[in-house]
Amino acid sequence: MKPSALPPDSVAVVTGGASGIGLAAARRFAQMGFSVCIADLGADRLGSAAEQIAAASPHGADRIMTSETDVSRVEELQRLEAAVCARFGSTDILMNNAGIQPGSGIFGPAENWRQVLNVNLWGIINGTQVFVPGMIARGRPGLIVNTGSKQGITTPPGDPAYNVAKAGVKVFTEALQHELRNTPDCRLSAHLLVPGYVFTGLTAHGASEKPAAAWTPEQTVDFMMDRLEEEDFYILCPDNDVPRALDERRIAWAAGDIIENRPPLSRWHPDWKEAFAAFVKAAG
């Protein structure tokens, strides 16, 4: 479903909407005249974000709402869905975007694993299971956008909990789109947003200046909206350092580990370093 084809009275719900990509997306939906609800943690953060979103909306603050919501808790998402229905009557765009990245190790703290899986994976499952059945039943056109990661596709070493969660988001969103397209009279489509290097609070690590290699959240959302207009399912974003061609080679190499029976994560294996470099170079 193209965003431009949605009715002007559409309602967008964005989790993790108080900053980064979520805030940029919420501003864009507001600019389009849609009602917007952002869900996140922190009343001050939500209040500041709501002011920015209202400034972008032709309707001002009248069609903007916020909700303190922990997406890892299904009962809080149920409360959010009821509140959106009470205020705006429905949901037409659901962007499951909330995420954390405290860091992890294979033998690291189990609590970090629980937090990452509960927010980054279960948050998307919870949001989908709470909101989407009602969206289907209303019979209106709509979108579900789930924020994944390249780390969930090429699974680089260094943060296995995050990789596991985002790999799960990819698989879940693929299954969701299959379900939607095989549901009679369903007018919804699901999409997997796969950002590149984006300068946000999650990636800044205390830095205040955007690195030259990174995109801004606004650039990422611009790209997302363009690809949604083309009805892409996989929204694979480049950045200022990595073009799509390089992403494609990295993804193909990762899949080739299985096909060619190479060691797992062979891209980072010293015995395969030269072969990977040659594989990338062969793409020109």
Answer yes or no: 197 catalytic.
no
Query: Which listed residue (162, 172, 197, 215) is catalytic?
Result: 162
CB 114 within 8 A of CB 76: no
Give yes or no for a contact between 225 and 3, defined as CB atoms under 8 angstroms apart. Answer: yes
Q: Which amino acid is at 155?
A: T
Query: Phi then psi for 172, rounded to 5 degrees?
Result: -65, -45
Residues known to be catalytic: 162
